[in-house]
A and B are shown apart, each in its own frame.
Chain A
Amino acid sequence: MKKINSIIVITIAVVFFITLNSVNFMVKMLKRKGGNMKKINSIIVMAIAGLFFIAANPVQAGNLVIKGSTTVLPIAQKTVEAYMKENPDIKISLSGGGSSNGIKALIDGSTDIATASRFIKDKEVKLAVEKNVFPVAFAIAYDSIIPVVHPSNNINDLTLDQLKAIYTGEIKNWKEVGGPDLQIVINSRDTSSGTFETWEKKVMKKERITPRAQVMASNGAIVQAVSNNKYAIGYIGIGYLTPGVKTLKVNGIEGTEETTLNGSFPISRPLFMFTNGWPKGETLDFINYVINPEKGQNHVADSGYVRLY
């Protein structure tokens, strides 16, 4: 779903861009016609100026801007909705675009909170400090990725190296890792997803996934593909586990909330929100809401991630 949302956002942005340009064009046409159009002219110009003004000044009193990782987007969406219901006078605008974009926006001051599925890089910190921005990190949830297979598969446990060999295409048949004599059908996520990013970092360790891997657009699509296919292997976020797929242990450790939080499950990572300096006012209220075990953290669990506590 988050993908579709971002596609819609992009479409709206493109349409907005085009409308502005065509209005601009219209104004030019009207201007050419001269004299009598002056009034209409100034009204249109004012309207456009108004639009630009709104577009150019997202950070206003009573408003909060959140930008960044699409991995964090489902959590942010649910929390923002609930938060605005409780505080109707505060308007929060939320957008995805990726961890890097969020942090970039924080550095140039166009967002109050940047969400990220990774920690801030040294390069970014340097850039921020140069611009007098001092990012503060808040871990808000954990993300844990579980390898899954078809329930009829007799394999229970794979090591990280075996997973890597399967995904690079070195191991092509289940019998090479002690399973049935079947070809392995690899299911992966598109390169833009946060889930893929984690998998690439924690399992692939910079090696490339074979081009033969099927690429799915969502966690749900992986579940769908793996639960219907006895040849298949896939990986999904811990919140998307269903009885239709069989989970695998990694290096002998089962992926649960407990093993994620104590750090023993190898394919997991924390998710962050960054603010400029220690948060104040509405930003602080919102961050407090997100890490509140009674409120924001419930939405973390609802979105398929692991709660902080």
Chain B
Amino acid sequence: MANTRQITERTMHTLFFVVASASIVMLFMIMVFLFMEGIPIFDEVSVKDFIFGKYWYPTSEPPDFGILSLIVASLAVTLLSALISIPLGILTAIYIAEIASKKVNEIIKPMVELLAALPSVVIGFFGMVLVAPFLQKVFDIPTGLNLFNASLMLAFMSIPTICSLSEDAIHSVPSSLKEASLALGATHLETILKVVLPASLSGISTAVILGMSRAIGETMVVLMVAGGAAFIPESIFDPVRPMPASIASEMAEAPFRGDHYHALFATGIVLFIFTFFFNIVADHIAHKYKQVGEATL
């Protein structure tokens, strides 16, 4: 009897271990795969020429594998979308957590979360069919598929992330802090700005960075609305070609294990390093500036 029980126990132990390690193993496998497929391109071009090369002509003869314009495009799109989504996301979070009445909350909160449920291809389609012609008419520019349009759509996508994570952070500020502030004669607005926001700053920073890391990795939207021109943009109304768009649109027909294929995987490595960096920073902030004492999350 005891033997059977031991076996069951051990089996369960192993089973749970396997399940728990599955995601780590997968992450590791994907990383190994990514690097294995991406590194060979550096036999053809140097790391410097790859990252700082201005021309991306992977299929012409001879090919040019320079992804500077793609990197700049990714960063530009992410930064501009952050400029739009950060104020919107955080202000919405403050409104939901501190100002809105319960009834209003019951409507707004699910709505914002619903925004996160919109498939990115739908947002992309919206940007392509409605926003692009609108921008073109209003600003009288040659094309509506550009950096600004893409940033706008990406902002839509990162607002829910930023909003709901910041709202959690704001919500977890203990009411005793607020009460103390109000008792000292501060108004509601002063309390929000000088007590609640500083107390939840680390949570909000994490939210912002995770929102941005979502924007930099987002593929479908930039594929559909960014315009896809691989040059360094000179204005916010220039079409751009961020890294994920380039990978997604070219991978399908890149000859298997050819230079183009390896170059796309190497672009994937660069993208991975960017998102990895974003996540590390978020993690670092969350740990270093942990809300302490009463404000602990």
Q: Which residues of A contact B (CB under 8 A)?
A: 2-3, 6-7, 10, 14, 17-18, 21-22, 25-26, 29-30, 33, 36, 70, 96-98, 100-101, 183, 185, 190-194, 200, 206, 208, 211-217, 221, 224-225, 228-229, 231-232
B253:A211 contact, CB within 8 angstroms: no
Q: Which residue from B10, B60, B231 sits with its C-beta under 8 Å from A206?
A: B60
Chain B residues near A98 (CB-CB < 8 A): 253-255
Say yes or no: is B224 at the interface (Cβ < 8 Å to chain A).
yes
Q: Take A17-B33, A193-B253, A217-B224 as given contacts and tell me if A211 and B142 are in contact as well, using a CB distance cutoff of 8 Å.
A: no
A211:B29 contact, CB within 8 angstroms: no
Q: Output the least CB separation between A118 and chain B (Å).
A: 13
Q: Output the least CB separation between B268 and chain A (Å).
A: 12
A190:B228 contact, CB within 8 angstroms: yes
Could you count the A-B residue pairs with CB atoms below 8 Å apart for me: how many are there?
120
Task: Report how far A231 CA is from B143 CA in the complex, Å.
Answer: 8
Closest chain B residue to A10, Cβ basis: B251
Chain B residues near A191 (CB-CB < 8 A): 57-59, 250
Say yes or no: is B55 at the interface (Cβ < 8 Å to chain A).
yes
Q: Take A3-B252, A208-B60 as given contacts and tell me if A221 and B128 are in contact as well, using a CB distance cutoff of 8 Å.
A: yes
A22:B136 contact, CB within 8 angstroms: no
Task: Report how far A231 CA is from B250 CA in the complex, Å.
Answer: 26
Q: Take A18-B26, A190-B228, A231-B142 as given contacts and tell me if A26 and B252 are in contact as well, using a CB distance cutoff of 8 Å.
A: no
Task: Report how far A225 CA is from B127 CA in the complex, Å.
Answer: 12
Chain A residues near B241 (CB-CB < 8 A): 215
Chain A residues near B128 (CB-CB < 8 A): 221, 224
B143:A232 contact, CB within 8 angstroms: yes
Say yes or no: is B105 at the interface (Cβ < 8 Å to chain A).
no
Task: Report how far A10 CA is from B26 CA in the complex, Å.
Answer: 16
Q: Looking at B33, B57, B253, which has the most chain A CB atoms within 10 Å of its CB?
A: B253
Task: Report how far A296 CA is from B120 CA in the complex, Å.
Answer: 36
Closest chain A residue to B63, Cβ basis: A191
Q: Take A33-B10, A214-B143 as given contacts and tell me if A224 and B129 are in contact as well, using a CB distance cutoff of 8 Å.
A: yes
Say yes or no: is B7 at the interface (Cβ < 8 Å to chain A).
yes
Chain A residues near B228 (CB-CB < 8 A): 190, 214-217
